[in-house]
Structure 1
Amino acid sequence: MKKLLPGFALIFFAHTTHAQEDTTEVFNKQKGEPLEGMDCTWWNGGDRRPTPTLAGKYFTPTVMVDANYSYSFNDPIDNTVVGSTAIIRNNEMQVSAAHLGGDFNYKGARGHIVTQFGTRSSVIPRNDYSVYKGQYQLDNVYRYLAEANAGYHFNVLHGINIDAGMFMSYIGLNSYYQVENWEYQASFTSDNTPWFFNGIRLQLFLTKKLKVEPWIINGWQSYGMFNHQPGVGGNITWCPNENVKMLTNNYYGADAAGIPSRKRFHTDNSLLVRYFNRPKSRGISRMAFSLTADFGFEKGGGVNGLKDGDSIHGPAQYFGSVMFYNRILFAKNKLAWTFGGGYMSNPGRYLVLVPVGQASNLPNPNNPTTTSGAFPYSANPGDKFEGFDCSTNFDWMPNEHILFRLEYVHRQASVNYFAGHGGVTSPTGYSTTGLPAGWMPDLVKSEERIIFAVLFRL
């Protein structure tokens, strides 16, 4: 953190000098907008619109709606999905997300707010264990906020921003907003890594094509801090031309609740390439792929990183994953076909999404000293978990504001994990039914599903 202070001082000095002397205006004049003149609408995890629709001088609004219907071939009797942050119910039409907000700016002052309603306001907060430390129910405090941050923009280089609050994570490539993604059900690499951070970020657009962004945050997708050490990390994004995007995210923190000696490291790296582009073609008009590889580990506090240790150091606890997607667009970019998938290995299961219902190992909200599930899923050091997924979808995009998607997904795990026909709630599927002797949550090793989604953005 000390190394960052001179940089902050330099920025502050440049700004205050500009306020006092008009002769420094040339020095503080921004050299141009980041990625100016480059087409970024093809990115996986990026905005399909070339420019915001209702951009204003002081306020640019954001409206997004994400509705889906998901059919599971396992057909759980309780309609419950296990192991996803995109969908939570089977065989029902659900509003996954309704977002309202926008960007405020005035003389360099910045504010960004995006609210969050729908099923994601339930599934995202439940995965944060930091809320059980102390008081004030932070999961309820932040439940209806997707992003909320404020800061200042400095007109130096190609722009410098400093923001504090809640902002989106870049780890795992995919955007939190489904309308920006090539696939609906994200691969393990993306779904099991952070969607948001709570902290401070500094965005340095050093050139038109290069961004460096350090963070100081509460923790790994956490509203609060797990121990007494903030997480640190950053993003570097480089676009040598409009057909290639490369980025790396790196993180270090202490994110095991109540085990401050256990440290976590994670690196996430992506390459996106558009290898064909004829936007006016009635046949194939665009082709692109994205490749993402992640690696990380935890060490200390009873686990030993990359290799099994003795009885003192504990078993290996690491995360390794990869995902690849290829997207082909047709008919002047109005139709698209995407296929891809990924693989994850996570001994210790520290990044596996915890099952719900009677299989949940999270604290019971009414009695946090017990688990909310009667048959808690094991996520202890040494527990193995491997996952594989593949998917394909077809998109119809009449314009840049609406997308209709039909997707097929297959997911496989090395252990029982996904919801089987018996579900994870009770013998009847209702939480009002008691649990008879001999009943257990029905977890199975694989699932197949079809998803229909309607995605709107203004």
Structure 2
Amino acid sequence: MPTAPLIACLLSSPPAVGDAQAPSERVEIAPVANADADAGTDDDSPAAASSERADPNTSPDPAPAEPSSDDAKPKRGWQAELFVDVAWGFNSNSPDNHVYRGMYTNPRTNELAVNNVGAFIRHRARAGEPWIFELGFHAGAAVDALTSGEPIPGGDDGKFAGAEVFKHIALGNVGVEVPKAKTVFAAGVFEGPMGIGSFWTRNNWNYTTTWESNLVPYYLAGAKIVQPLPSGFELSGWVVNGFQSYADLNSAPSGLVGLSWSRDPTPVSSPRSGTTAVTLATHVYFGPEGTSLAAKDWLVYSDTWAIYDFDDHFSIAAVWDLGVDRAGRANELQSLYTGGAVFARGTVFESKHAKLDLAVRPEASLDRDGRFFGVDQWLISGTGTASLSLYDHLMLRAEYRFDHSTATEGFFYQHELGSDDDPGLATDQHTVFLALTGWWDVWF
């Protein structure tokens, strides 16, 4: 993988009955579903949704829960979805290039930006139809930022296609679930399972994503196998092109293994509502990210997170990562990255068609040798977000975020200083985002 920053985009509690939502590989931080809006849902609706992986908060993209009996499974397995994400961001450093350095999901500031528009269609495995299908396309400033580090096949001589075409493929995979064993085999382009944070911001508690989330892969190209185990455990294995890459980085693939555990949700007592749930997961990525295939030159990256849903109205979560990579260094020294975040989300107002969530998130990341962010530094941040969800199709957000870098020459762009090598970059940055996200989906 190129040594340029690989900064790509939380946690979700189980959505309530009636939320037609799609599964997500990554842990997502999204506002919880509006329980009052669930009344009147028929038996054919994607009820009691839960994500493909355990999610810390309510994700707008969980899969419908499967009843215990195959005969009782949902009769509708297809979902179509459209969405748009628009935001205006104020940056206290007023960079002339308008770039929020190191951020993929919200890369533009001091302007009105269309960060992402997309369309998806999905098919869930169900009784009589054990096959899986996902196809999605997206475009916008965030998509351009996300794929900016993609290698070009053929180097400078590469022409015509490459990332300029593939970057618009948000998802594109097919698979099958073995009915008895529930083993899943699939291949294609997937959302990455590591980290806390979805690239599609409406899935998250906060509008901007953490430094940790912008580091681990938002997407992976390859094949995977997932096997549920007794007592709430699940084991997964992946073979992929690289650490977020459509193109082949070299002649050898990389690998990823994951293990998660979820405790069955437990109903809470009045006056609280919903369920209490706990989920833990860990992933390890390993493989060559450069021209050398020797094991000593591999990137090895571990990702561990935990989620606790107190009930439908309050959740907390935490993530911490550790990665080492020699990255072709002549001095034989390995680079080191470590970092993570703590999340908390609570619902402060709820009615039939409106819900207001507040979320806070402190975080810290150390890129000791500048392997991922390009600068040897600590990045320390704090974020607060208010999210107003309306009619299950619209979300209005206001967010304040403070970032601090310990880099000697600074890290954040300011005024006319818009190059990574400019002396006198800013060490602090204040941002305010006002965002509007709309989506429409249908099951059939």
TM bucket, shorter chain? 0.7 to 0.9
> What residue in structure 2 maps to residue 335 of structure 1?
356
8 Å Cα contact 1:114-1:146 kept in structure 2: yes
8 Å Cα contact 1:197-1:218 kept in structure 2: yes
> What residue in structure 2 maps to residue 346 of structure 1?
367
Q: Given the superposition, is the C-alpha separation of residues 65 and 184 from structure 1 closer, same or farther in structure 2, using an over 3 Å criterion?
A: same
Q: Given the superposition, is the C-alpha separation of residues 266 and 132 from structure 1 closer, same or farther in structure 2, using an over 3 Å criterion?
A: farther
8 Å Cα contact 1:395-1:404 kept in structure 2: yes
User: Which of 246, 250, 270 in structure 2 is aligned with 1:223?
Assistant: 246
8 Å Cα contact 2:258-2:282 kept in structure 1: yes
Cα drift, residue 93 of structure 1: 1.5
> What residue in structure 2 maps to residue 408 of structure 1?
400
Unaligned runs of 5+ in 1: 1-35, 278-285, 304-311, 353-378, 426-438
Distance in 1 between residues matched to 2:293 and 2:361, nearest whole Å: 38
Cα drift, residue 448 of structure 1: 0.7
> What residue in structure 2 maps to residue 200 of structure 1?
223
Give the AA of the match of 2:118: H
Q: Which string of whole-angstrom CA distances, capped at 9 and with x for unpartnered residues, describes residues 265-311 of structure 1? A: 0110000111244xxxxxxxx111110000110147437xxxxxxxx
Matches within 5 A, 1:251-290: 251-256=285-290, 258-261=291-294, 262-277=297-312, 286-290=313-317
> What residue in structure 2 maps to residue 454 of structure 1?
436
Tell me, what secondary structure is at the counterpart of 1:140?
Answer: helix
> Percent same amino acid at aligned positions?
16
Cα drift, residue 405 of structure 1: 0.9
Structure with higher Rg: it is 1
Q: Does 1:297 align with 2:309?
A: no
> What residue in structure 1 maps to residue 139 of structure 2?
117
Cα drift, residue 37 of structure 1: 5.8
> What residue in structure 2 maps to residue 149 of structure 1?
173
Matches within 5 A, 1:48-447: 48=60, 57=76, 59-104=78-123, 107-129=129-151, 131=153, 133=155, 135=158, 137-157=161-181, 159-207=182-230, 209-242=232-265, 243-256=277-290, 258-261=291-294, 262-277=297-312, 286-299=313-326, 301-302=328-329, 312-314=331-333, 316-332=334-350, 334-352=355-373, 379=374, 384-415=376-407, 416-424=410-418, 440=422, 443-447=425-429
Give the AA of the match of 1:345: L
Q: Given the superposition, is the C-alpha separation of residues 400 and 207 from structure 1 closer, same or farther in structure 2, using an over 3 Å criterion?
A: farther
Which consecutive aligned stretches of 4+ in structure 1 deviate over 6 angstroms post-superposition? 38-42, 49-52
CA RMSD of aligned residues (A): 2.9
Q: Given the superposition, is the C-alpha separation of residues 51 and 193 from structure 1 closer, same or farther in structure 2, using an over 3 Å criterion?
A: closer
Q: What is the TM-score of this pair, normalised by structure 2? A: 0.74
Distance in 1 between residues matched to 2:359 and 2:81, nearest whole Å: 26
Unaligned runs of 5+ in 2: 1-46, 65-73, 266-276
Cα drift, residue 208 of structure 1: 7.9
Cα drift, residue 207 of structure 1: 4.6
8 Å Cα contact 1:210-1:238 kept in structure 2: yes
Distance in 2 between residues matched to 1:208 and 1:38, nearest whole Å: 20
Q: Given the superposition, is the C-alpha separation of residues 173 and 131 from structure 1 closer, same or farther in structure 2, using an over 3 Å criterion?
A: farther
8 Å Cα contact 1:409-1:450 kept in structure 2: yes
Cα drift, residue 422 of structure 1: 1.9
Cα drift, residue 443 of structure 1: 2.4
Q: Which string of whole-angstrom CA distances, capped at 9 and with x for unpartnered residues, describes residues 131-163 of structure 1? A: 565845421131211111112222123x22211
Q: Given the superposition, is the C-alpha separation of residues 390 and 248 from structure 1 closer, same or farther in structure 2, using an over 3 Å criterion?
A: same
Number of aligned residue pairs = 362
Cα drift, residue 79 of structure 1: 2.2
Q: Given the superposition, is the C-alpha separation of residues 205 and 221 from structure 1 closer, same or farther in structure 2, using an over 3 Å criterion?
A: same
Cα drift, residue 44 of structure 1: 4.1
Tell me, what secondary structure is at the counterpart of 2:148?
Answer: helix
Higher helix share: 1
8 Å Cα contact 2:304-2:320 kept in structure 1: yes
Cα drift, residue 417 of structure 1: 1.3
Q: What is the TM-score of this pair, normalised by structure 1? A: 0.72
> What residue in structure 1 maps to residue 71 of structure 2?
none
Q: Given the superposition, is the C-alpha separation of residues 340 and 63 from structure 1 closer, same or farther in structure 2, using an over 3 Å criterion?
A: same
Give the AA of the match of 1:171: M
8 Å Cα contact 1:64-1:456 kept in structure 2: yes
Cα drift, residue 259 of structure 1: 3.5
Distance in 1 between residues matched to 2:438 and 2:423, nearest whole Å: 36
Distance in 2 between residues matched to 1:301 and 1:89, nearest whole Å: 32
Give the AA of the match of 1:324: V
Q: Given the superposition, is the C-alpha separation of residues 112 and 183 from structure 1 closer, same or farther in structure 2, using an over 3 Å criterion?
A: same
